[in-house]
Amino acid sequence: MTLLHERRRFLLGLAAGVAMAQAPLASAWAQSRRASLVSTPLPGGLFLISGAGGNVVVGHDEQGALLVDGGTAERASELHKLALRETGAKRVHTLINTHWHPEQTGSNERLGRAGARIIAHENTRLWLTVANPLIGQPGTYGPLPPTARPNATTYANGTLQLGSERVDYGYVLQAHTDGDLYVHFKDANVLVAGDVVCNDGWPVIDWRTGGWIGGMVDGLTKLIAVSDASTRIVPGRGPLLTRADLETQRNHYATIFERLEALMRQGKGPDEALAANPTKDFEGARGDPTQFVTLAFQSMWGHFAPNA
C-alpha cells in the first residue's frame, strides 16, 4: 500500500472514531441549501450565483459557459438554467471543482455525462472515488460514478483561456481539505477562493480529508499574495470580500491557531479547548464557534500527535 493510501486509510479510520461526537454539530452546508438562487454581475462579464449550496462563479466564451463549483445535486438543474440564461451560452463546457464537498461537486454527474471538462486537484478526484462522512450530517457522500469524477486534474497549478480572459488556478495545500484550488480570473481580477475563505459564520475545517487550521492560515497568506487591493474575492459561502478582509481573517485565525497549539501542548482535549474560549476576541457576528473550535482542534492531531 502506498503512503498516500495509508494516509487516507488513517484519516478515514479517525473519522469513524469521532463521528458520534460530531453528529450534534450544526452544519452550515445543510443550512445553505434552503436559499433561493440569486445572480450578481461581476467584472469581466462574470456572474456570481449564490444559493445553490455554495457560491458559484460563471464565465463564458464562444464555446459555452464555465462554472467554478457546481452547487448541490439538488440545485444543479436550476443552477445550469440560470447560468446559461445569464451568459447566453448553449452549454457548459468546463467545470472547476475547488474541492470534493457536495456543495461544490453536485453538478459533476450532470455535466460529466454531457462531456464537460471537469478540472480539480488530484486529491479531490481521489476523495470522490470513496464514501466520505460529512461533518454535521448523517450518512456519507460518494463514491461518484466515473463520469462524474474530475477528468483533468492537477497536483499544483494550471492556466486556461476563456475567450480573451486568462484563468489561473492553483493548489492551496491542506487548508479546508487537502485538495483545495483557488481560481483567479486575471483580467477581471476576480479570485474564487472556495471554502478556504468563509464570509458566512465560521469556516468548516474538514480535517478528516486533510484540512487543518495551520493550512487555513497558510492558505489565506497565499490568497493574499495572489490578490491586490482591487481584487473581488469570492468565498465559498457568503458575500464578496476584499484583500483587506483576507488579511483580517488571516490574523484572527493565526491567533486562534497559536492559542489552540498552546492548549494541545498542555495535553488538553477538545472540550477543554472549547472551555478556554480561544475565539473570544473575534466572534462578533460569526455566531457560535463550537463547531469551528472543535474541528480546528481535531485538525491538529495529525500534525502534533501523529502517533495518536
CATH classification at residue 76: 3.60.15.10
Q: Is residue 268 part of a domain?
A: no
Q: What is the pTM of this model?
A: 0.89
Q: Which domain holds residue 141?
A: 3-253
CB 94 within 8 A of CB 115: no
pLDDT given at position 23: 36
Q: Is residue 289 part of a domain?
A: no
pLDDT given at position 145: 98
Q: Is residue 14 part of a domain?
A: yes
pLDDT given at position 283: 81
pLDDT given at position 137: 87
The set of cell numbers assigned to 162 is 476563456
Q: How far apart are CA 279 and CA 84, in angstroms?
A: 42
Query: Over the stretch 29-45, which tens digit does the pLDDT of each residue have?
Result: 444 455 799 999 999 99
Query: CA 107 from chain center: how many Å?
Result: 15
Q: Is residue 52 part of a domain?
A: yes
pLDDT given at position 2: 43
pLDDT given at position 300: 97
Give me the number of domains the chain comprises. 1
Q: How far apart are CA 62 and CA 77, in angstroms?
A: 22
pLDDT given at position 284: 82
pLDDT given at position 24: 35
pLDDT given at position 136: 86
What residue ranges of the chain have pLDDT lower than 50? 1-32, 308
Q: Is residue 187 part of a domain?
A: yes
Q: Is residue 42 part of a domain?
A: yes
pLDDT given at position 11: 47
pLDDT given at position 17: 41
Q: Is residue 237 part of a domain?
A: yes
Q: Is residue 69 part of a domain?
A: yes
